[in-house]
Amino acid sequence: MKADLVTIFPDFFRGPIDYGITRRAQELGLAEIQVHDLRAFTHDRHRTVDDRPFGGGEGMVLKPEPLFECLESMGLASREDRVAGREKQSVILLSAQGQRFTQKVAAELALLDRIVLVCGRYEGVDERVADFLADREISIGDYVLSGGEIAAGVIVEAVMRLLPGAVGNEASTQQESFTIEAKAKSTSGADSTCGSNGLLDYPHYTRPAEFRGMAVPEALMSGNHEEIRKWRRQRALEKTFRNRPDLLEGATLSEEDNKFLAAIKNRS
């Protein structure tokens, strides 16, 4: 996959794309990330990328010309072909007004050959970019950031770790919080039976088994795969019920899960 990041602060990405799985994906040749300096597409001596808004009002707005020129230099497929899905490319404008970014959207983007992430700044971006250049607007949450760079970093990281081969143990990305279809078959036995299926992930523990009087739950030490599966599933259900009850509606639940949920609802 190729990811193009368009920004007025190219140095911003030096850290985020050079560590962990994003770095690994690039080193393995699974991903290529290119940062484009928007100011390189200006033609005045001040390298102006912004201007005052028509109609008055606060702040400055990113001008359309450098953004159009920058994207035109990339050799992308036409917007028509991208939007129709004839080309596996997507141009995304980061915006607080966009569709919410979720694990499902990350999984959709991970299937593409190329994503272009356009980072806004100031009061935002000339609306003609959303209307005629970008294929979609994406928001990483209901709050306002000063720029799209951190949002682009979030999307790159969430997408890159879903590229086959990017994470050492692929099964782990199929059993995490928010993952809808758990197709993973773990070789270790216990894990393969309790994929998230829309729930939050179950709690994880590692050595030491006892730390400052805090012991690892006995079920996990039992070596009994069925007991471990049941314990993990119940903890995932509990945590989802407590922290994100909205997720329970879309989760795939068994009869056993529903019975357990009914019991904890009665208790609370």
Percentage helix, strand, coil for the chain under 3-state DSSP, each rounded to 5: 40, 15, 45
124 binding ligand SAM? (CB under 6 A): yes
Q: Which is nearer to ligand SAM, 7 or 234 (CB)?
A: 7
Q: Which is nearer to ligand SAM, 124 or 198 (CB)?
A: 124
Region 81-100 residues binding ligand SAM, contact defined as CB under 6 A: 94-97
CB 201 within 8 A of CB 166: no
What are the structure tokens assigned to 95, written together?
Answer: 């915006």
Nearest of 149, 162, 23 to residue 104 by alpha carbon: 162
16 binding ligand SAM? (CB under 6 A): no
Altogether, the residues listed in the chain come to a count of 268
Among 131, 143, 213, 267, binds ligand SAM (CB under 6 A): 143
156 binding ligand SAM? (CB under 6 A): no
- Chain CA centroid to CA 141, Å: 11
CA distance 27 to 188: 28
In angstroms, give the least distance from the CB of 201 to ligand SAM: 24
153 binding ligand SAM? (CB under 6 A): no
144 binding ligand SAM? (CB under 6 A): yes
Binding residues for ligand SAM, rule: CB under 6 A, are 94-97, 119-121, 123-125, 139-141, 143-148, 151
